[in-house]
DNA sequence: GTAATACTTGACTATTTTAGTCGGGTATAT
DNA sequence: ATATACCCGACTAAAATAGTCAAGTATTAC
């Protein structure tokens, strides 16, 4: 089980932003330099964050992105969702009656994996952007 | 975040086995048929389970695999480990002093991802094969 | 003793996913 | 005007996944 870079970078970038005065637009270029994330990749990521109302954009010189809400109210689960990222531990389609084996009942392990999915989603549900900043006295 | 089929099948196959009288060898062919998992793939999986002392093999006619220990004592974490499967949510090498950004300190989000890793591993650590069988009255 | 069953092992491969890049935009402040 | 910075779709190299294949060996049943 691996976490992909897109989600990781998204959280990293947003965490970076929330260390600065809110309402001040922050350019992706700055984030890119500070966090060593490819600018072009960040653009892709932020487009999705914007579409999902997590940030808003300010165009033109001195433009950039601004957090749309208080970091306290931005849950990690929202960020993941914004990037179309899902925790998928079951092998079947949840909506379907069929199991991962193609048969008409769910397999022996279905319940287990479902439980795991809920368990992991819980983690994301209970973390806000703000929770990352408790250590305000860090350098990076 | 996705779970791969190898881990999923491994647990499924072992769960299948633990529903039958222990000490009776069960052939992969049977498991393959019952659980609709490719026989050739199962062979690959069981080789690793064997190397990691989770099952033992009995060759020849009426042979198959036998659980080496009580299902109560086989933790999911062991099964995953046997298949070289790791939960990896951090972007960096844990042992290294460097962060995922190549810099000399760990990044802003490192602690978060590390926490998540521990959290997920906990789930696997606290589940045994036996926990899957509480519903003994299932068909599949 | 020979056939059938079933494990053993390493190598190989198609497909999918990931982790980005590229090109050509548009809007805004100075 | 011009530089900055967001916007957007399409593209691609590389890695991971999900298997398959070939060529065995050991054991039991007849
Ligand atoms: S995981 Fe849902 S049926 Fe197997
Ligand atoms: S995840 Fe470890 S340094 Fe970024």
pLDDT digit string (tens) for A4-42? 999 999 999 999 999 999 999 999 999 999 999 999 999
Give the residue numbers in B contacting A (CB under 8 Å), as ranges. Answer: 1-5, 8, 11-12, 15-16, 35-37, 85-89, 91, 99-103, 105-109, 111-113, 116, 119-120, 123, 127, 131-132, 135, 138-140
Could you tell me if A66 and A24 are in contact, meaning their C-beta atoms sit under 8 angstroms apart?
yes
Rounded Cα distance between B139 and A125, Å, is 34
- B133 confidence band (pLDDT: 50, 70, 90): confident
Within a 10 A sphere around the Cβ of A96, how many other Cβ atoms?
10
The pLDDT value given to residue B3: 97
Rounded Cα distance between B22 and B10, Å, is 17
Verify whether ligand 1 is closer than 6 Å to residue A106 (CB atom): yes
pLDDT (mean) for B54-63: 96
Sign of CA dihedral B60, B63, B68, B74: positive
Helix, strand, or coil here: B84?
coil
pLDDT at residue A137 is higher than 60: no
Angle at A104 between CA A101 and CA B71, to 5 degrees: 55
The pLDDT value given to residue A135: 58
From the CA of B90, which ligand is nearest? 2
What count of CB pairs under 8 Å joins A to B? 116
- Indicate if CB(B60) is under 7 A from strand C: yes
- In the DSSP assignment, the letter for residue A128 is B
- A72 confidence band (pLDDT: 50, 70, 90): very high
Rounded Cα distance between B100 and B81, Å, is 24
Distance between the alpha carbon (CA) of B124 and the C1' atom of D28, Å = 39
* Tokens, residue A134: 């408790």
pLDDT at residue B140 is higher than 60: no
> Chain A contacts of B100, Cβ < 8 Å?
8
Could you tell me if A58 and A67 are in contact, meaning their C-beta atoms sit under 8 angstroms apart?
no
The pLDDT value given to residue A136: 47
């Amino acid at each position: 089980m691996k976490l992909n870079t897109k989600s990781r970078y998204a959280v990293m970038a947003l965490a970076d932003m929330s260390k600065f005065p809110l309402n001040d637009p922050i350019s992706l270029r700055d984030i890119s330099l500070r966090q060593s994330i490819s600018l072009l990749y960040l653009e892709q990521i932020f487009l999705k964050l914007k579409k999902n109302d997590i940030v808003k954009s300010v165009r033109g010189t001195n433009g950039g992105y601004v957090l749309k809400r208080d970091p306290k109210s931005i849950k990690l689960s929202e960020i993941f969702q914004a990037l179309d990222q899902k925790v998928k531990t079951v092998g079947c389609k949840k909506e379907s009656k069929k199991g991962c084996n193609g048969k008409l009942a769910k397999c022996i392990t279905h319940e287990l994996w479902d439980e795991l999915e809920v368990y992991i989603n819980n983690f994301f549900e209970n973390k806000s952007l703000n929770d990352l900043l408790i250590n305000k006295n860090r350098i990076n």
